[in-house]
A and B are shown apart, each in its own frame.
Chain A
Amino acid sequence: MTRIEAVVNGKKVTKTVDDNRLLVTFLREDLGLTGTHVGCDTTQCGACVVNIDGDTVKSCTSLAAGANGCSITTIEGVAHGERLHRVQEAFHRHHALQCGYCTPGLIITAIDIIEKAQGPLDEATVRQELKGNLCRCTGYQNIVSAILDAAEKYAMSSVSKVA
């Protein structure tokens, strides 16, 4: 057993977990944050992607105990109360979710792609960066359009963070 202290979506969390507890299980079952999904469970599909200390990580292949001292953002932590995150809005506008199963991982990934972009994003870069996120509805065209749209609006705004 390992005692972990982490910040999840801005709130401090202290729990004791089994050493073999996966991070995705911890988020979903111990914290009730079921927005993060398990898709393939084999480190391929990206439905379980969360942001840990500023980097996107597949939570199905991370240990909960390893998150001690980390700051984690899941899909539940990106909106501002009732107001959707700008990237969520863009996904909504572009019909970038079909069944919605891969969407949480894609939103977390998209936010990170936009925040780390050095200069304007182009379609080829976005598609390259999305290699770790699979959409079984194959809705990539609209997903890419949504990310490019959100990136453009982000570039035009004066805020330093995607919000």
Chain B
Amino acid sequence: MNPFTLHRPSAIDLISAMLASSSDPKFLAGGMTLLPSMKLGLITPSDLIDLTSLPAFGEISNEGRRLSVGAGATHAAVANERRIRELCPALGRLAGKIGDRHVRNRGTIGGSLANNDPAADYPAAILALDATIHTDRREIGSSDFFRGIFETALDEHELITSIEFEAPERAAYAKFPHPASGYALAGVFVCRGDSYVRVAVTGVGSDGAFRLQELEGKLEAQFEASVVDTIDLSALEFFEDRHGSRAYRENLVRVMARQAIAEIAAVDGA
């Protein structure tokens, strides 16, 4: 790896001085994407600001059904957190399927969202949950946050501090993972509340994760897996690669959507 200077701030208000004294700094959370990218020489920051020593950076709390997940919460923490299991178990199960157990012990929700990999799992959840992204400067709504592959609304050196959302009545995430990487070839997150259904898709969009509004409307009228067969995906921008053609990925989206809807319907019927 290229040489760099590591900073380990013990408080968030110490970060601005560290940024000011660095020519090309980057935030380091779990490092599960950043460090491999640096080892490959894809990025060569002058300084790394390690966020893992910040107090309460990974704290998970709730007020009633409103959950707040600290940006530094590891995937393992989200998967095992009692409040998440009780209020939004689908998010816990999603976190428990990211990467492998060693990666989940390090990778963080904030890091995943800031990176916005088009095949990452969390973006689908954040869109479907209509979560609010809190940063050190402002709040960003989920619909404004994702700006295309590996691009977000974050300004330079803006830091995600937490993610907040209202736990839906029901939610489910179905994912078809790439067998080697574990990333989603297609992942569909469905959540349903009193008067709404939200559906978001990851792993297939050439602009990253997206909401599937046509399906949302149809599911609000009739919450059944068969509705998936009636939606038209042809206008959506899909990417194709050696792992899957457009037709293959379109079909995967339908299959994953049906699985997620059926999972919710099964809970309804239980």
Q: Taking beta carbons and an 8 Å cutoff, which residues of A are in contact with B?
A: 2, 18-20, 22, 41-43, 46, 49, 55-58, 61-63, 65-66, 68, 109, 129, 131-133
> Are B4 and A43 in contact, CB atoms less than 8 angstroms apart?
no
Q: Which residues of B contact A61 (CB under 8 A)?
A: 31-32, 35-36, 39, 106
Minimum C-beta distance from B82 to chain A (A): 13
Residue among B36, B39, B76 making CB contact with A55, cutoff 8 Å: B76
In the complex, chain A residues whose CB is within 8 Å of the CB of B8:
65, 68
Q: Which of chain B's residues 1-47 have a Cβ closer than 8 Å to chain A?
A: 1-6, 8, 31-32, 35-36, 39
A58 touches B102 (CB 8 A): yes
Show 7 A/B contacts (Cβ-Cβ < 8 Å), sorted by A. Answer: A43-B35, A57-B105, A61-B39, A63-B50, A66-B52, A129-B101, A132-B100
A-chain residues with CB within 8 Å of residue B35 when the two chains form the complex: 43, 61-63
Q: Assess whether B101 is in contact with A131, with CB atoms less than 8 Å apart.
A: yes
- A residues less than 8 Å from B3 (CB atoms): 18-20
Is the beta-carbon distance between B36 and A109 smaller than 8 angstroms? Answer: no
Q: How far is the CA of A158 from the CA of B39 in the complex (A)?
A: 45
A56 near B31 with CB under 8 A, answer: no
Inside 8 A of B76's CB, which chain A residues have their CB? 55
Name 13 extra pairs, CB < 8 A, besides A20-B2, A56-B101, A132-B99: A19-B6, A19-B48, A43-B32, A43-B35, A43-B103, A61-B31, A61-B32, A61-B35, A65-B8, A66-B6, A131-B100, A131-B182, A132-B100
0 or 1 for each of B31-73: is its CB under 8 Å from A? (1 = yes) = 1100110010000000010101000000000000000000000
A20, B1: Cβ atoms under 8 Å? yes
Contacts A22-B1, A42-B36; A63 near B102 (Cβ below 8 A)? no
